[in-house]
Amino acid sequence: MPELPEVEVVRSGVEPAVTGAVVAAVEVFEERSLRRHVRAFGSFVDLLVGRRILAAVRRGKFLWLPLDTGNALVIHLGMSGQVLLRTPGSPGDRQLRIRLHLDHPEHGELWLNFVDQRIFGSMAVDSMQATSDGMPAGFAGAAAGDWSGRIPSQVAHIARDPIDPAFSSDAFLSALARRKTGIKRALLDQTLISGIGNIYADEALFAARLHYNQRADSLARPKATMLLGAVRTILNRALAEGGTSFDAQYVNVNGESGYFSHSLTAYGQQGQPCPRCGTTLVREQFMNRSSHLCPRCQRLR
DNA sequence: CAGGCTTCCTGCGCGC
DNA sequence: TGCGCGCAGGAAGCCT
């Protein structure tokens, strides 16, 4: 469920704690949380212990911590993943899957707990490769370094997200115009545009008055441009509402970090009147998940 | 080869 | 009260 804004909250929250820290030890409590770690590349623990973390970078819903070896610790939260910072000796978090013991030159020793109920999330150490366009691989706050133009290999196929300065609106709109699939499928396709999940897809489609199954190639360019604008507006609003400080992240117990539900006008609002026309909002099954929409404002054309 | 379906997962809430 | 089922959905991988 974490989408771009929630992952960015995690990134900005852990950034001060991990940047410059050395990994002193690693505990893996759940092997399935390493599903995306390629064992042939080396032992997850061995590739981390003794290494210094250089930054915290995000593209879409993917987060990675570049290491002084040139590799990166790749983190994906999946459906239910959380990254929690803890004082050493703290009582164990429920569903704790992996723990990193960090030694930070300023903050001292701390634990980075990877908690994940459904185990759709994962951690992996991966090699890095140059970005195909030579631009910074993702968002890293104000930080920059040799790692900036490099991306973990297993993230290389993920498209840039719409709030990335290097995101090409033109290329996206052109690709959209060639897609024969439904517009919601396209929005959720992380190789086309990243960072959008079920919740913000529904929000953006509501704002743009589009039915989830409207074919992507049927949208006139101005309509597609308007939809992209709606996506950006919604993601930026959630980002503004989700800002969490280092201290807040440190003590955050539930760590769910958002779902900024007060700003949702479509998702989960079935049965409520449409804010535009008063028609009752509905929930429909689509792609094995639910879509929330106004049957009057968002008609299939 | 684009498109789309299946699979992986656990906790919670609901109905009987 | 307790059991079992349905539901939540990100993304890899497979099939058509």
| pLDDT band per the 50, 70, 90 thresholds, residue A260 | low
User: Is residue A131 located within the same domain as residue A174?
Assistant: no
| pLDDT band per the 50, 70, 90 thresholds, residue A240 | confident
In the predicted structure, residue A100 carries a pLDDT above the cut 70:
yes
- Strand B, nucleotides < 7 Å from a protein CB: these are 2-11
- Region of A70 on the Ramachandran plot (φ > 0 left; ψ -120 to 50 alpha; else beta): left
pLDDT digits (tens, 9 = 90+) for A137-181: 999 999 999 999 999 999 999 999 999 999 999 999 999 999 999
In the predicted structure, residue A287 carries a pLDDT above the cut 90:
no
User: Distance in angstroms, CA of A61 to C1' of C10?
Assistant: 9
User: Is residue A147 located within the same domain as residue A8?
Assistant: yes
Nucleotide nearest to A95 (CA to C1'): B10
The pair of three-digit structure tokens given for residue A174, joined into one six-digit string: 């052109």
| CATH number of the domain that residue A242 is part of | 1.10.8.50
Q: A271 near A259, Cβ under 8 Å?
A: no
Does the residue A273 lie in any domain? Answer: yes
How confident is the model over A284-288, as a mean pLDDT? 83
pLDDT digits (tens, 9 = 90+) for A27-70: 999 999 999 999 999 999 999 999 999 999 999 999 999 999 99
Question: What are the residues facing A67 on neighbouring strands?
Answer: A53
The Cα A232–Cα A169 span in angstroms is: 11
The distance of Cα A256 from the centroid of its chain, to the nearest Å, equals 13
| CATH number of the domain that residue A53 is part of | 3.20.190.10
DSSP string for A96-114: EEEEEEEEETTTEEEEEEE
Listed residues A118, A152, A186: the one ending a domain: A152
Q: Domain of A214?
A: 169-293
Query: Given this model, what pLDDT does residue A238 score?
Result: 87
Query: Given this model, what pLDDT does residue A105 score?
Result: 96
User: Is residue A182 located within the same domain as residue A277?
Assistant: yes
Q: Which residues touch strand B (CB under 7 A)?
A: A 32, 35, 79, 95, 117-120, 178-182, 185, 287-288
pLDDT digits (tens, 9 = 90+) for A183-210: 999 999 999 999 999 999 999 999 999 9
Contacts of A39 (CB under 8 A, 6+ apart): none
User: Distance in angstroms, CA of A105 to C1' of C11?
Assistant: 36
Question: What are the residues facing A81 on neighbouring strands?
Answer: A116
User: Is residue A129 located within the same domain as residue A177?
Assistant: no
Does the residue A22 lie in any domain? Answer: yes
Query: Given this model, what pLDDT does residue A74 score?
Result: 96
Q: A28 near A45, Cβ under 8 Å?
A: yes
Does the residue A220 lie in any domain? Answer: yes
Does the residue A67 lie in any domain? Answer: yes
Does the residue A39 lie in any domain? Answer: yes
User: Is residue A262 located within the same domain as residue A133?
Assistant: no
Does the residue A58 lie in any domain? Answer: yes
How confident is the model over A240-256, as a mean pLDDT? 44
Does the residue A272 lie in any domain? Answer: yes
| pLDDT band per the 50, 70, 90 thresholds, residue A75 | very high
Does the residue A163 lie in any domain? Answer: no
Nucleotide nearest to A202 (CA to C1'): C9
Listed residues A98, A126, A152: the one ending a domain: A152
Tally of domains in chain A: 2
User: Is residue A20 located within the same domain as residue A144?
Assistant: yes
